[in-house]
Amino acid sequence: MTGPELKQLRQDLGEAIGRPLSAADMAKLCGLDPKEGADTIRRWEISGPSGPADKLLGILAMASDRYAIMDNFNIFDRWDVSEKERPARKAAFRERMCNEIRQRLA
């Protein structure tokens, strides 16, 4: 993930959960101290995150419908999930991801 992609992800996740996310919020999502981590997030928005934070943010990106990450996992396009159910299951999964983000920020 590049810096500009992280900056866009912050905006997209904010839209997904219904409120804007600050750099401190993003730090909290990454398990960093919100006050000190906000500076880290701002640096990452230039250079890009690395290590575990990069992987975590990639997972949290599934909360936004702007990321086709779920298509890579192919967890809903299986023989035991009817085609009619797939959109609803994807939407329910995204909502669970949004709830996970809200819970982490609480």
Domain definitions of the chain by residue range: 3-105
- pLDDT digits 0-9 by tens, 79-92: 666 778 877 888 88
- pLDDT digits 0-9 by tens, 28-73: 999 999 999 999 999 999 999 988 999 999 889 988 888 776 666 6
Q: Has residue 3 got a pLDDT over 90?
A: yes
Mean pLDDT of the region 12-19: 96
Distance CA 29, CA 21 (A): 10
Distance CA 74, CA 53 (A): 23
